Amino acid sequence: MPDSPRTDKDVHVSPDHEAFSREAADRVRSLVESVLEEQEFFALAFAGGSTPRRLYELLADSSLPWDRIHLFWGDERFVPHDHPKSNVQLVRETLLNKIDMPDENVHPMPTSGSPQAAASAYAETLRHAFADRAHTFDLALLGMGGDGHTASLFPEDDPAPNDPNWVRAVSAPPRHDISQRLTCTLPVLNNANRAFVLVSGASKRDTVDRVLNQQDSSLPITQVHPRTSLLWLLDEAAAPTEEA
Ligand code: 6PG
């Protein structure tokens, strides 16, 4: 994949978690609608974790043209898809169980067999999905951990901006409950056209400050530079004083 150009950061702060989730849903919906005026399909990558749960519930009520949207995941815990900690399960219970979505449009990360083989298989899924375009996802939804990780790119690992692999099997640091994970690599995230970084809650404020006000390059999320735009969606609790 070509090196992606650097992009400017944009930040929107909402008063609380509900308003933050509604803002994110509105922006996802308007982006999908505008991109589908120019493209046949929209490729959306989901973040895992707890922050996007309400957003996904709101997307279920947003009457998007789901038959023209392909769903992917930025990372996954290597557990069965019906496991309570699965990122597929999160999207299933908040969104997929409530909408009419063609099965062939849903591309979960495989979590059976060997993690390395599953990573290779998903890399092939992505290469096939994006074979006829210069970019990967039209929108990558990303979360951020308090340690500055995003997807399952952790500060302990080499972020590898030029990683030749599209998907990696990784072990999360011991502070995380599920160790074995699959993650899209930085080149895949940086070749997304756009990304929304979704951060909510006071526990993340110091890390947001390190990223937005101190440009702390030791944090994997600081290495994310999509091709067109990077939008930080925060609630006030997560916003450093300069951003609030
Ligand atoms: C995962 C996510 C991960 C998540 C952050 C934030 O699989 O855990 O993809 O990158 O977005 O850890 O998680 P919370 O939203 O739960 O704080």
- The reported pLDDT for the residue numbered 242 is 61
Ligand 1 in contact with 48 (CB < 6 A)? yes
**What separation in Å is there between the alpha carbon of 156 and the centre of ligand 1?**
16
Give every CB contact of residue 239 below 8 A, 6+ residues apart in sequence. 11, 13, 205, 208
Q: Which of 79, 149, 200 to mutate to test the pocket of ligand 1 (most atoms within 8 A of CB)?
A: 149
Ligand 1 in contact with 51 (CB < 6 A)? yes
Mean pLDDT across 124-130 = 98
Mean pLDDT across 8-16 = 88
- The reported pLDDT for the residue numbered 163 is 93
> Does residue 52 surpass a pLDDT of 70?
yes
Question: pLDDT of 155-193, one tens digit each?
Answer: 999 878 899 999 999 999 999 989 999 999 999 999 999
- The reported pLDDT for the residue numbered 158 is 82
Cβ-count burial of 22 within 10 angstroms (0-12 exposed, 13-18 middle, 19+ buried)? middle
Mean pLDDT across 40-55 = 97
Q: What is the pLDDT confidence band of residue 244, given thresholds at 50, 70 and 90? A: low
Q: What share of the chain is helix, strand, coil (3-state, %, to 5)?
A: 35, 20, 45
Question: pLDDT of 198-222, one tens digit each?
Answer: 999 999 999 999 999 999 999 999 9
- The reported pLDDT for the residue numbered 197 is 98
Ligand 1 in contact with 143 (CB < 6 A)? yes
- The reported pLDDT for the residue numbered 140 is 98
Q: What does the mean pLDDT of the chain come to? A: 94
Cβ-contact 88, 72 below 8 angstroms: no
Residue 32: phi, psi to the nearest 5?
Answer: -60, -50
Give every CB contact of residue 159 below 8 A, 6+ residues apart in sequence. 153, 186, 220, 223
Atom of ligand 1 nearest to the CA of 49: 16
Ligand 1 in contact with 185 (CB < 6 A)? no
- The reported pLDDT for the residue numbered 9 is 65
> Does residue 6 surpass a pLDDT of 70?
no
> Does residue 139 surpass a pLDDT of 60?
yes
For the whole model, what pTM was predicted? 0.95
Both structure tokens of 68: 């023209």
- The reported pLDDT for the residue numbered 7 is 45
Residue 91 to residues 65, 99, 237, Cα–Cα distance (Å): 17, 11, 25
Mean pLDDT across 35-39 = 97
- The reported pLDDT for the residue numbered 221 is 97
- The reported pLDDT for the residue numbered 4 is 44
Mean pLDDT across 138-151 = 98
